[in-house]
Structure formats: C-alpha cells, structure tokens
Structure 1
Amino acid sequence: MNSIQKELVKSTVPILKTNGNALISYFYQRMLTNSPELKNIFNMANQASGKQHNALTGAVLAYAENIDDPSVLINTLKSIGNKHVSLNITPEQYDIVGTHLINSIIEVLGADANSDLIEAWTCAYNELASIMIGIEAAMYEKNSQKKGGWKGWRSFKIAKIVSESAEINSFYLKPADEKEIADFFPGQYISVSTYIPELGHKQPRQYSLSSNSNNEFYRISVKKETGQANPDGIVSNALHNKKVGDELEVSAPAGLFYADPESKNPLVLLSGGVGLTPMMSMVETNKNALQQNPTIWIHSCRNENVHAFKDTIEELNNEKTWLKSYVFYETLPDTQTNAFEGRIDLQQIKEDILIKDAKYYICGPAIFIKVQYQSLVGLGVDRENILYEEFGPQLLSLN
C-alpha cells in the first residue's frame, strides 16, 4: 500500500467507530447468504448474539487505526490465527471473505465509496489476508510435523462419558484411526464439529482440554447450556445427547492461553463456572510435573451441585502441599462446607495470592474476567503477569 491509500483507510476510522457494526452485520448476512457452506465453519450462536459482529468490527477498526504498522497487532493476529487453524480455514476462504467485505463497503457506503477508497481497502484487506495466511501456514506446518499431529479435521470416537456435575459432562475422545495424537500445553483447546439436524449443517465449537497431555485421549468437559431450540446451546445439547462410540470431527490442539510446564513460576488460577476446564488441565499437569509449582486455585460457581471436579480438587487440596484451593458459592449448601458465600472477593485472600513471580490465569465469562483482572491490578499485580481466556469471540482488550 502507498501512503495515500493508507490515509484513505485511516479516514474511514470515524465511520467504523459509528457505523462499523452495521457494515459488518450487512457483510455477514451477504456472505452467509451467498456462500452458505461457510455456515459449517461460523459459530451461528455468535452470529445470532452479535458477538462475532462486535469482534470483527473491533478487529477491522484496530487494523485501520494501525495501518501504518500492523505489526503492533501481532499478538491479536496470532490469537485469531489459532482459532482459524482450529477451524481449518483455507487461503481460498480469505478470497471469499474479501469479496464480500469489499462489496459490502461499496453497497453500504453507496456514493461515499469512490474508486480510490475501494482500491485502498482492497489493498488493505489483501495485505491483512497475506499476513494471516502466512501466520496460519506456519501453524499448520507445525501441527503437521508434530508427533501425532495433523492438519484439518480428524475423526475421533467418544470412548467414555463421565458426569462431573449437574450440568457438565466430560467426554474422553480417542482417534478413530487408533494412531498417535498430538500433545498439548495445559490450557489449550480443540475444536469439535458435529452435524446439527435442526440447523441442517455442521457446527464447530472450541472446548478447553481438561486433562493433562497424554498419548491416549483428549478430554473435554462440556456444560449443557440452555436454549436447546436455538443456536445458543444447541451444540452442547447435541454433545450431551451423544453416546459412547459416536464420532466427532476434531482439530489439533491450539491456543495461546496456557501454562508452560517447564516454567517454575507459582500459579494463581481464577475460574468462573465452566471456566475451570483449562485450570483442571494445568493442575493435572502440575501434579505429574517434577517441580510441582506452588498453585492457588480460586473457583466460583452458583452452588455445590454445579461444581465440576469438586471431589478431585478437594482430594488434591488435602493431599498435596503445592495446591491450595478456595471456592465461592453464590448459594451455600446446607451441609458443612469450607466454601465462601457470594462471588470471588480477592481482598479476603490477598495474603495468599500475592506471590512473588506468580503467573495469574483467569477464565470465565467476560464480566468475570473484567472484575478479577481489575481486582488483581488493584492489588498491585503487574498486568504482564495476568493472562485470560474469554469464552467465544475475543472482545476484551485488558492488557
């Protein structure tokens, strides 16, 4: 892109700030109408809720604002790249997206979309697509070269289903070809795709791996969401109706939210609801590690009945000196409990969580992450030591 084109792109920043969401909504409707095969890839619940629209609007705006030096967005682009690789996004699909995005700009802006502006945004998109394709090609290559690794979708069978709470089931997945599977870092996720008859197409979802890495199986622990008759919860309900022996399509492990098993830093884990799944992987990994990093785990959920892995964590807490856990229930049980009532209040346990060189991991709904992140910062924790994983499209930018 030349300097004039970059200025033209930057000139659209005010429009994107005020009308970007309308443009992106139009774009998604146009693309999914003309290329319905993409419904097999896009999370239709996030489409219905508008979360995906908000995420893409924010990404387009950030790119326009940083068009002079897109490298400042590299961490964000790598995070997006991980999601794309987990969904087996191809270079050809970037062409489809680009065609519909540029045509949406023309159709929405009308007379304001002069040829110079359209050419500038075409160049901008092509440059961004080239960056993303390069990032993802390296990730695909790394996955393919990894022992037990693969590219794209691979058939896995449900080997075992375990009820972890009133609403969370764990699914043990083994490869249908009975060959090796790739290892992963504790905290990473896989994508799972299955056909949804009510929608008439497949739907993918990302689920954190909830066990330590091993050569035999992947374990995901899925909350059965409400809303069985609409996209919100339709995949989790479909999974909860699966039986042992059923097959799912699975992508290789991905994600930037993980605890390095080689690191000796103490861990402080904060989870809300089903956000405990990547933390479970971190704790199981730490249990089998030589150094067994000192770990504090603070978990919050509605009540004891929905607290997955409760007994497992209690046993570890009682047996292992490296783990100390705290639980907050909105409603306490009638029986005796060590849980706190209400939602997580870090002030109550600040002496235990303010640890030198600790890494802090937060996972849960967006509002949970915001509150806990701000609490940690308020207690003096360096932002660089706080990592978080948001459910669904990445809308938060706290660091």
Structure 2
Amino acid sequence: MLPTQIELIRASLPTLREQAIPITQAMYRRMFAANPEVARMFNPAHMHPDGQQGALAGAIVAYAEHLDELEVLHDALAVIVHKHVAVQVQPIQYDVVGGHLLAAIAEVLGDAATPELMDTWAAAYGELADVCIAAERGVYEQQRVAPGGWTGLREFEVVERRALTPMITSLRVSPVDRQRLPTFAPGQHVSVALPGADSLALRQYSITQAPGGDSWRFVIKAEPARDQHEPGVVSNRLTQALELGAKLNLTMPCGCFTLDPTAGDHAIVLLAGGVGVTPLFSMAAASVAAKPARPLLFVHAALDRSSRPLEADLRELANVAPGFRYVRIHEQPAATERLGVDYDHVGLLDHARLTSLLPADPVERAEIECWTCGPDGFMVSVDAALERLAVPRARRHFEFFGPARPLTES
C-alpha cells in the first residue's frame, strides 16, 4: 500500500475503533442474508459482540494499526489461517466477505466513508486476503502430501463410545477406508461434519490422545441451553444420539496450540479449566511418552467431579511417569466428594494457588513453559496470575474454544 493510503486508514482509526462492532454486526447480517452457504462456517452460539463479531472487530483494528508491519501480527495471522483451514475456507469466499465488509463500513460510517477511504480499505483488504490465501494454500498442500493425509472431508465411523460424565462422552473413530492416519501435533483438532446435516457448521474437537495409532479419540461435552442460546445441536447429537458404526466426516488436523514433546528439558505446566482438558491431555500423553522423567505439572480446575473427565487417564500418566504431578481443584465440590480422594483443593486456580504450585525461585519460574485452555474468564485470570509471577509472555500459550481474542479483554 502507498504511504498516503496507510496514513488515511490510520487517521480513521478513532472512528474505526468506536464503530468496529457495529461494522462486523452489519457485515454478518448482510453476508448471511445474501450468502447463506457461508453461514455453515460459523457457530451460531458465537455470533455475538463478545464472540465472533468482537474477534473480527479486534482483527480489523489490529490490521489497521499494523498495516506497514504485518510481522507483528504473524502469530495472530497463523491462528486465523488454521481456523480458516479448519472450516475449509476457499479463495473465492474472500471476495464474498470483502464485498460485505466494505458495504458494512460504508453503511455504518455514512458520510465519513468517502470514496478515497473506501478505495483504500478495498486495497488493504485485498492485500490481507492475498496473504491469507497464500498461507492457507500452503497448509492445504501440506495436508495433501502428508503420509495418510487428505484434502476436504474423509469418512470415519464410530468404533467406541463411552460416557465419562452425564454431560461428557468419549468417542473413538476410525477411517472407513481403513487406510493409515496422518500424524498430528499434540493439541491439534479436527473439524467434524455430520452426514446429512449440511446446514450445520463444522465443529472443532481436539484429538484427545498422543499421536499414533489407527483411530482417534475425542472427548465432547453436550452443550446445554444457556442465556439466549439453544442447546448445542452438533455436540448433543454426537454425545446423545450417535451409536457404534455411525458415520462422521472429518478434516485433517489443524491448529497452532501445540506442544513439541521432544523440545528441551524444561518443566512443562498444563492448566486446564473444565473440558479445556482435551487438548492438554494430548500434550501430556505425548510428553510422557517422549520424556517420562521430565517435570510436568497438570492442574485441572472444574466446578466439581462431573465437570472433570479423563480422571483415570491422567492418573495412569501419573503412575507411569516419575516427573508427572496431577492436581485437581474443585470450585464447588459435591456433597459426596471427599478432599484428598476426589479433589485436592477447593476454590479457583488463582494467583495464590498458582504461587503455591509453581517454583518459588523466580529463575526457575522464568524457565517453565505453560499451556492454558478453558473458559474465557478462567484463561484471563490464569494468564494475569502468570504475568504477576513473571512467567515470560513468550512461554505462555493459550487456546480459545471459539473465536480467538486477546486475554486482556473480557
């Protein structure tokens, strides 16, 4: 982009920050009305200002702030690219989104949306689209040529189904074609499509095991109705209505929230909130397989025992790995639960609790590496506590179940 164009967009930043949410709301309204086929890529439960609308608004503002230094946004763009690949975004869809985004900017800004500003935003969007399309093409190609890999969707069947809690189910699936499965990075997820339900969005579920084998396991929570949202259609079908032999369509594994179990010998800290345990278990299992003596602290915070699946699996890791430490925290233990048997601490995983669990030596704390996954509020609180404890930002990793956004928000 020309320097004059960059300055024009920067001059519009105050208005953009103020109107970013109304712009994204107008864009999605326009796009879903004119192009309903695109709606399948979005989870309806996330379509609100604190979800997808807010995530896109934040991304637009961040892009405008760093037009001439996109390297600052490298990690954020990598996450966006993998999220796009997970829902099978194709280049032609960038034209659809771009058209509705520009129309929404014009609608919301009104007279302030001068022809010069709109031309500049069209150029800025075009440049960003080119960057994303090239990166996504690279990921699709890597998936295609990987041993056991594929593009698009591949048919699997359910070969095992176990209820872990009243609301959480473990499903194991195997490819119908009986051909090999590709490897994946611990922490990655796949997108799942229900055959015959083309109107439903693809849903992402973490592969809850160490890489390897001829089948994959997912641990899925049936999402109940909450606030103004209906119960999760896909999660309830997967957990309540799916029988052995049922067919599912899966994408290749995606995601940047990963752990290399062979890298380094420093201590690993995995902090899970509720069903956020699923990608972290994959990391823990892979780490134990690679380096069982490596120090690994696994903390699982939940409302009570019914919100904490994988108890037996995590205990098995603790039994076979001398470096593995497993800590359970219940916010509201049930009356039948016993301290020291069903859980180790009462309350929240807050600054005080983390202080007691992490090394007291600041030098040792600066060398640990943390991965955090769970509800938004949990991750905001935990990341703030890690910041206070001087765990370096570069050694703190987190994953949202839904649209990604900065942990400093909410």
Show the counterpart of 2:358: 353
Cα gap change, 1:290/1:325 in structure 2, threshold over 3 Å: closer, same or farther?
closer
1:328 is matched with: 329
Map of 2:269 onto structure 1:
268
Residue 308 of structure 2 is matched in structure 1 by 307
CA contact (8 A) 1:151 1:252 kept: yes
Matched with 1:388 is: 398
Residue 209 of structure 1 pairs with residue 219 of structure 2: no
Q: How far 1:56 moved relative to its partner?
A: 0.3
SS in 2 for 1:203: coil
Q: Is the 8 A contact 1:185 1:261 kept in 2?
A: no
Which residue of structure 2 aligns with residue 93 of structure 1? Answer: 93
After superposition, the Cα gap between the structure-2 partners of 1:117 and 1:132, relative to the gap in structure 1 and judged at 3 Å, is: same
8 A contact 2:292–2:322 mirrored in 1:
no
* Residue 174 of structure 1: aligned partner: 174
CA distance in 2, matches of 1:367, 1:177: 42
Q: Please state whether the residue corresponding to 2:201 is helix, strand or coil.
A: strand
> Which residue does 2:217 correspond to in 1?
219
The CA deviation at 1:291 is 5.2
Which residue does the alignment assign to 2:233? 234
Give the secondary structure class of the aligned counterpart of 2:142. helix
Q: What is the rounded CA distance, in whole Å, between the counterparts of 1:227 and 1:289 in structure 2?
A: 41
Identify if the C-alpha distance between structure 1 residues 201 and 230 changes in structure 2 by more than 3 Å, giving closer, same or farther: farther
Aligned to 1:363: 373
The aligned amino acid for 2:202 is P
Check the 8 A contact 1:155/1:250 in 2, yes or no: yes
Write out the 4+ residue segments of structure 1 that deviate beyond 4 Å after TM superposition.
228-232
Match among 376, 381, 389 for residue 379 of structure 1:
389
SS in 2 for 1:172: strand
Aligned to 1:337: 339
Shift of 1:351: 5.4
Structure 2 CA distance for aligned equivalents of residues 331 and 115 of structure 1: 57
Q: Secondary structure at the match of 1:393?
A: coil
Question: Could you give the per-residue CA deviations for residues 15-54 of structure 1, whole angstroms, max 9, x where no partner exists?
Answer: 1211111111001000110001112212221115651100
Residue type at the aligned position of 1:377: E
Instruction: Give the C-alpha shift of residue 288 in structure 1.
Output: 2.0
| Structure 2 runs not aligned, ≥5 long | none
Structure 1 residue 361: Cα displacement: 0.9
Tell whether 2:41 aligns with 1:31: no
Query: Identity of paired residues, percent?
Result: 31
- The C-alpha deviation readout for 1:48-106, integer Å capped at 9, x for no partner, is 56511000000001111111222211110011000111111100001111111112222
**C-alpha distance in 1 between matches for 2:116 and 2:176:** 53
Gaps of 5+ in 1: none
- Give the deviation of 1:230 after TM superposition: 4.6
The one-letter code sitting in structure 2 at the alignment partner of 1:25 is Q
More divergent stretch after superposition (114-123 vs 283-292): 283-292
State the 1:153 CA deviation.
1.8
Counterpart CA distance in 1 for 2:21 and 2:332 is 39
Deviations 1:152-185 (A, max 9, x none): 2222211211112222111112112221221111
Instruction: Find the aligned partners of 2:354 and 2:130 in 1 and give their Cα distance.
Output: 48
Residue type at the aligned position of 1:307: R
Match of 1:288, as an amino acid?
A
User: How far does residue 331 in structure 1 lie from its aligned partner after superposition?
Assistant: 2.6
**Is the 2:274–2:301 Cα contact (8 Å) retained in structure 1?**
yes
Instruction: Name 1:288's counterpart in structure 2.
Output: 289
CA distance in 1, matches of 2:337, 2:2: 69
Q: Secondary structure at the match of 2:157?
A: strand
**Offset of residue 314 of structure 1:** 2.6
TM-score norm. by structure 1 comes to 0.93
Using a 3 Å threshold, how does the CA distance of structure 1 residues 49 and 210 change in structure 2: closer, same or farther?
Answer: farther
Instruction: State the SS of the aligned residue for 1:331.
Output: coil
Aligned mates of 1:345, 1:325 — CA distance in 2: 17
Q: For residues 367 and 24 of structure 1, do their structure 2 counterparts lie closer, same or farther at Cα, with a shift above 3 Å needed? A: same
Q: CA separation of 1:36/1:323 partners in 2, compared to 1, >3 Å: closer, same or farther?
A: same
Question: Secondary structure in 1 aligned to 2:8?
Answer: helix
Q: Is the 8 A contact 2:224 2:230 kept in 1?
A: no
Q: What secondary structure sits across from 1:185 in the alignment?
A: coil
2:121 aligns with 121
Post-superposition shift, 1:300? 0.6
C-alpha separation between the residues in 2 aligned to 1:239 and 1:366?
Answer: 24
Kept in 1, the 8 Å contact 2:261–2:291? The answer is no
Deviation at 1:397, TM superposition (A): 4.5
TM-score (norm 2): 0.91
